[in-house]
Amino acid sequence: MKHILTIFGLLFCAIVFGQTDSNIWSDTDTISTELYEFQVPTKWRNFGKMMGGGQGPEQFFEASGQGLPISYNGGPVKVSVFLVKMDQSKNLKSAKESVISGYFENPDRVFKKDKDYQEESFILSDKNEAILLNTRFYRKSKGLNQSRFDLATYSKKHKTAYMFTVSIQYVDDTYDFETENDLKDYAKKLYSTFMWN
């Protein structure tokens, strides 16, 4: 009987602690500039003011332990969110192509399949069209697997493109962590708040 209770308890903990926590969205901050606006959970650590833009992110957030497990398979779960202006992209198609080519330029990334990524159309809250891209790879320097989600968006009004990235690193070469924790939905929750001003 003790063994059955122990197994039940372990299964319960795995189910409860393996799911995303949507309550983090009950309290949000608005990030607003002349060009865009979006919401983030107040609990996310905002480093945007420390970033100068230019070659690096214009907005940067660290969200480890916020809505996702803090660890998995004995390793950390690291969550980073950043927004990068894409000065060379002159439309949505070129923004998408730039994101995709960027996936495969870093020699530190090991893909299970050649040129492995997925894409789907995404409509922003202001009804502008965007493209949601995602890929997964192993980072040799970090010793972690990574699920990466990128929203490519372009404003005809502002003639400006952005890449909005959610990067989640963890230990799991099967990438089951991605589906078990609905990582795409985690990213979509953020992207659904983005709009151009």
96 and 121 in contact (C-beta within 8 Å)? no
- Beta pairing, strands 160-170 & 78-85: antiparallel
Q: Cα(154)–Cα(4) distance, rounded to whole angstroms?
A: 55
Q: Cα(57)–Cα(156) distance, rounded to whole angstroms?
A: 21
Q: Work out the pLDDT band at 114, boundaries 50, 70, 90.
A: confident
Q: In whole angstroms, how far apart are CA 38 and each of 7, 32, 34, 94, 175?
A: 43, 7, 12, 23, 29
- Beta pairing, strands 45-46 & 109-110: unpaired
Q: Cα(55)–Cα(85) distance, rounded to whole angstroms?
A: 9
Query: Is 0.75 surpassed by the pTM of this model?
Result: yes
Residue with the two structure tokens 């990213």: 187
H or E element that contains 151: strand 144-155
Q: What is the pLDDT of residues 118-138, one digit of tens each?
A: 999 999 999 999 999 999 999
Amino acid 164: pLDDT: 97
149 and 133 in contact (C-beta within 8 Å)? yes
Domains of the chain: 21-196 (3.40.1000.10)
Amino acid 15: pLDDT: 39
Residue with the bigger pLDDT between 68 and 14: it is 68
